[in-house]
Structure 1
Amino acid sequence: MYTPVFTSGVWLADVNEAEHNDELCLWSNVLEQLLQHPKVLDTMNVPDAAGGRALSSVHLAGQMDLLKLLKVRETRLGHWLLYQLYDAAKALGFDKTRDIRKFKFHRVWANEMSKGCEAVAHRHASRDWVIPHMVAIFYVDVPANGADLVFLDEDGDEMRLGSLTSFSLSQQYRLQSRRGRLICHDAKQLHATTIHESDLPRRCIIIEVGFPPK
């Protein structure tokens, strides 16, 4: 479903949890193990995180094929995700100038937020960047009182800004994070999260996607 957000928009889709519960549990186990990797645990909080401990495999994206670990191309949940990426790219208008049928994965990684953690305002691409074009966030584990995603109305081009509290409510558009939810947006779109207030972790997969020109 396409949802207008300020001068842009996002694509939002929820998988049928009952139908894909076994696969969601499998993905949860894979992420839990990956995020306990020594190379993840030895790394300080990612630059976009503040507050409680944050874990990320972003620095391993070039060494570990997360989509292969999750068997995305072999499972019904994976097929659902790939079809959604195509629909999202079309809804966001990338088909006007790009061949969205030939999308490529720029980086794929997993994130985990602990209690007290938040993502500060950031974007995944600047205006003059060639790639990525679109970002997809798929939520695998979201407990009650988990951090929500917030898009921000801001015309600048800085890659990182401050905490969500530095933006007025009129600049914020909040989308609830929940298990099995996919949110896709333009890589240049500024976003942050609310504070994660649960004792249980919130885990998601982040996919940066690029499209060749037509």
Structure 2
Amino acid sequence: MALILNWPSRACRFLAAFSFALAALGVNISTNSLSAANDFTALFPQFVSIRKGQLLCVVIAWAVLPWKLLASAGTFLNFMAAYAVFLGPIAATMLFDFWVVHVRKYDTLALYTYNGIYKHYHGLNWRAFVTFLAGVAPNMPGFIHGVNRDADVGVGVRPYQFGWLLGFTITTVFYVGLEKIFPPRETFIERAVLPDEIYERHGQSEGVRVEGFKAWNELARCELS
């Protein structure tokens, strides 16, 4: 941007700035609205498609008052720091579940089957839920102070200063520990079942139930539409 300011032509400066704005808009739409749409589709697959989920994200986004978040650099940085408090535990759960607990062996078809092996207890893996709370809890006093500077939380603000790393570490220890003490044995399989294998064999994969293949195809069609 500093280089563009030195260009003599106002038209060139406008086009360069416009390209930056367009790129930022496109990146945010693709990374934020699509991820939200995937979550809405997973929660309500019978009612919400990817396209409807994106439109729902646009409507709900107004509730967080984005113009206030961007009112100043300090407010925006506080928001990003608070955002990281929740991302650390989520990243730890996803990372260590795939690489350590299940050793890269996922049944892709079962992930999209309602009564599959990953349903756990009424669709909730209580181990992940407990460890998420454990990873977020130490950062909550600092989070409250970050949102409201008038709140006196004492030394509670210090863990918040490295909140992502602290949440990631605590969640890792708790999650791996609970998975070892209370292992979900039904989720452990001998080999990974990949999407390409399911499509090539039309749902007839060794050691894999085929009743979920129809749901898999329906989900793929929804995403394409």
Counting helix residues as a fraction of each chain, which structure ranks higher? 2
Specify the TM-score bucket, using the shorter chain as the normaliser: under 0.3
Q: Which has the higher contact order (CA 8 A, sep 6+)?
A: 1
Give the TM-score normalised by the residue count of structure 1. Answer: 0.23
Give the TM-score normalised by the residue count of structure 2. Answer: 0.22
Larger-gyration structure (1/2): 2
